Amino acid sequence: MGKTAAQTGAYLHHIAIESENPENLAKFYSSAMDMKSTQLSDGCWTCVGARRKLVIFNGSNNKLSYAAFACQNKASMEALRSRVKLQGINILSSPSHYFHDDAFAISDPNGNLICFGVEEGSDAINANLHAPLQHLTFASLDVEMMVDFYVEKLGFSLSDRVLHENGDLATAFMTSNHEHHTIACFKADYNGIDHHSYEAGDWMYIRDWCDHFATQDIQLIWGPGRHGPGNNLFIFIEDLDRNWIEISAELEVVVDRPTLDWPQHPRTLNKWGRAIMRS
Ligand SMILES: [Fe+2]
């Protein structure tokens, strides 16, 4: 019945967000996230760095336009498309100009548009600051419904769950490849984006990012700390629209292990110090 998303090895390739002032936001990402910003069309800007891409459309602040996952090759993308069809999920056209024309999109239960495709051309940009785009985290009124969609229907692997004392699901970490999570979902009182994350890989690169942010008087809003699930080191800043941006390192590599359960507790969110509890 086609490959599961996890079998395609899909990785988060780029995301597109909306902003009431896309030009200003593009300038922010250009300087803060070491990306080159370009106006693509009226009301649309792209920001491109080394293995990190962001599209910004004129629209409402803090709204995801779409998230785009790159499959390893056309065969794996077609296998995933077959599975999606068999699951009875509507196949939509992909709005991404970074993918080949045969890319497709689907809408998740919260209306988030998710594209799957194969990268068009290669990214040869060099940068002083290393951190590829790596995961996107949603806020949702109904985490169980999101897990049912991404895990049961698309075939993401469920790496970890965070549970309230009564067993209710607070957070789910799901992956489409070997990385601990490429999508996560926090229980919240709204549907939308929680944050997006760039994986620096090594603690010393987080130091370099912090020094870089300091030169621009951008203060950390959370961290440094270490998450329980994923065991990754982290810092957070926020952009001009107050979207949360994470720089991560040492994210767990997951290979065929069972799903782990964690208690909804401050030490689960941050082993080192202050936790930002979502629900
Ligand atoms: Fe994260």
pLDDT string in tens for the chain (279-residue length): 566 777 779 999 999 999 999 999 999 999 999 999 999 999 999 999 999 999 999 999 999 999 999 999 999 999 999 999 999 999 999 999 999 999 999 999 999 999 999 998 766 677 789 999 999 999 999 999 999 999 999 999 999 999 999 999 999 999 999 999 999 999 999 999 999 999 999 999 999 999 999 999 999 999 999 999 999 999 999 999 999 999 999 999 998 899 999 999 999 999 998 998 887
Measured in angstroms, how far is the CA atom of residue 251 from the centroid of ligand 1?
A: 10
231: left (phi over 0), alpha (psi -120 to 50) or beta: left
Measured in angstroms, how far is the CA atom of residue 114 from the centroid of ligand 1?
A: 18
Q: Which residues pair with 249 in a beta bridge?
A: 201, 233
In Å, how far are 10, 100, 199 from 25, measured between CA atoms?
28, 27, 21
Measured in angstroms, how far is the CA atom of residue 205 from the centroid of ligand 1?
A: 17
Q: Same domain for 158 and 247? A: yes
The per-residue pLDDT for 211 is 98
Measured in angstroms, how far is the CA atom of residue 164 from the centroid of ligand 1?
A: 19
Measured in angstroms, how far is the CA atom of residue 244 from the centroid of ligand 1?
A: 9
Residue 83 lies in a domain: yes
The per-residue pLDDT for 56 is 98
Compute the distance between CA of residue 221 and CA of residue 13 in angstroms, rounded to an integer: 25
Measured in angstroms, how far is the CA atom of residue 42 from the centroid of ligand 1?
A: 31
**Pairing verdict, β 113-117 and 63-70:** parallel
* Cβ pair 173, 167 in contact under 8 A: no
Measured in angstroms, how far is the CA atom of residue 20 from the centroid of ligand 1?
A: 25
* Cβ pair 247, 129 in contact under 8 A: no
Q: Terminus-to-terminus CA distance in the chain, angstroms?
A: 37
- Among 117, 151, 167, residue at a domain's last position: 117
Q: Same domain for 162 and 92? A: no
Q: Same domain for 28 and 153? A: no
Measured in angstroms, how far is the CA atom of residue 9 from the centroid of ligand 1?
A: 19
Residue 275 lies in a domain: no
Residue 202 lies in a domain: yes
Measured in angstroms, how far is the CA atom of residue 41 from the centroid of ligand 1?
A: 31
Measured in angstroms, how far is the CA atom of residue 233 from the centroid of ligand 1?
A: 10
Q: Same domain for 36 and 86? A: yes
Measured in angstroms, how far is the CA atom of residue 54 from the centroid of ligand 1?
A: 17
- Among 75, 92, 117, residue at a domain's last position: 117
CATH number of the domain where residue 161 is located: 3.10.180.10
Q: Same domain for 264 and 137? A: yes
Measured in angstroms, how far is the CA atom of residue 182 from the centroid of ligand 1?
A: 9
Q: Same domain for 137 and 263? A: yes
Measured in angstroms, how far is the CA atom of residue 57 from the centroid of ligand 1?
A: 23
Measured in angstroms, how far is the CA atom of residue 86 from the centroid of ligand 1?
A: 31
Measured in angstroms, how far is the CA atom of residue 254 from the centroid of ligand 1?
A: 16
The per-residue pLDDT for 250 is 98
Residues 6+ apart with CB under 8 A from 257: none
* Cβ pair 56, 47 in contact under 8 A: yes
- Residue 22 sits in which domain range? 5-117
Residue 122 lies in a domain: no
Residue 279 lies in a domain: no
* Cβ pair 130, 50 in contact under 8 A: yes
Measured in angstroms, how far is the CA atom of residue 135 from the centroid of ligand 1?
A: 7
> Judging by beta carbons within 10 Å of its beta carbon (0-12, 13-18, 19+), is residue 21 exposed, middle or buried?
middle
Measured in angstroms, how far is the CA atom of residue 167 from the centroid of ligand 1?
A: 22
- Among 65, 91, 117, residue at a domain's last position: 117
Compute the distance between CA of residue 33 and CA of residue 130 in angstroms, rounded to an integer: 10
Q: Same domain for 160 and 262? A: yes
Measured in angstroms, how far is the CA atom of residue 183 from the centroid of ligand 1?
A: 9
Q: Same domain for 94 and 150? A: no
The per-residue pLDDT for 122 is 67
Structure pTM? 0.96
Residue 73 lies in a domain: yes
Measured in angstroms, how far is the CA atom of residue 56 from the centroid of ligand 1?
A: 20
Q: Same domain for 35 and 155? A: no
Q: Give the total number of structural domains in the chain.
A: 2
Q: Same domain for 113 and 158? A: no
Q: Same domain for 170 and 88? A: no
Residue 187 lies in a domain: yes
Residue 126 lies in a domain: no
Q: Same domain for 140 and 264? A: yes
